[in-house]
Structure 1
Amino acid sequence: MNNNNNFFQNVVSEMKKVSWPTGQEVVRYTTTVVLTVVFFLAFFYVLDIGITALIDLM
């Protein structure tokens, strides 16, 4: 039982050291990730359409 208490005390101690992002940073990072995903989605979609068109020409 003492081992469990020591573990949870260490967890609490380490969590106090964590640097949590602010709400504004979370929104900025989330927006960056979503825009990056949308960009690559569009890029690979256009690439796929182009390759399909080239294959259809053969």
Structure 2
Amino acid sequence: MTEAHGSTATPEDERSDELGVDETPPGGGNRRGRRAQAEKPEPRKRGIFARLALFYRQIVAELRKVVWPTRNELITYTTVVIVFCLIIIGIVYVLDLGFSKAALEVFG
């Protein structure tokens, strides 16, 4: 079973498969069962300001991971977008002009 690409199986899992042991023990994956869950303390609920502060810290942490474009890349990307938009505007204008002339000829 561990030969599969990306497998997370361990030798312990293989042995339990051979013995016919259920892979999902009671208690949602904890091998010790429900007893371990009962001993685990319930997480403390945070106040609104603590949650907002945590949210803000997570936003800042994610923004630090972003690879921002350089000035030259930004100019290049902006130019490409503007040129693409102008080309699409031209195509739509020509099609609109053609359809309006055709409609005028057909419906008079």
Q: Fold conserved (TM > 0.5)?
A: yes
Return the alpha-carbon distance in structure 2 between the equivalents of residues 4 and 57 of structure 1: 64
TM normalised by structure 1 equals 0.80
Q: Provide structure 2 residue ranges, at least 5 long, that are not aligned to the other structure.
A: 1-48
**Aligned counterpart, 2:104:** 56
Identity %: 31
Return the alpha-carbon distance in structure 1 between the equivalents of residues 79 and 99 of structure 2: 30
**Aligned counterpart, 1:3:** 51
SS of 1:44's equivalent?
A: helix
CA RMSD across the alignment: 1.4
Amino acid at match of 2:98: G
Amino acid at match of 1:7: F
Whichever of the two has the greater Rg, that structure is 2
TM normalised by structure 2 equals 0.48
> Between Structure 1 and Structure 2, which shows a larger proportion of helix residues?
1
**Aligned counterpart, 1:27:** 75
Aligned length: 58
Q: Does 1:15 align with 2:100?
A: no
Relative distance call for 1:4 and 1:42 in structure 2 (3 A) is: same
Shift of residue 4, structure 1, vs aligned partner:
3.7
Q: Provide structure 1 residue ranges, at least 5 long, that are not aligned to the other structure.
A: none
Shift of residue 15, structure 1, vs aligned partner:
1.7
Shift of residue 55, structure 1, vs aligned partner:
1.2
Amino acid at match of 1:30: T
Return the alpha-carbon distance in structure 2 between the equivalents of residues 19 and 8 of structure 1: 19
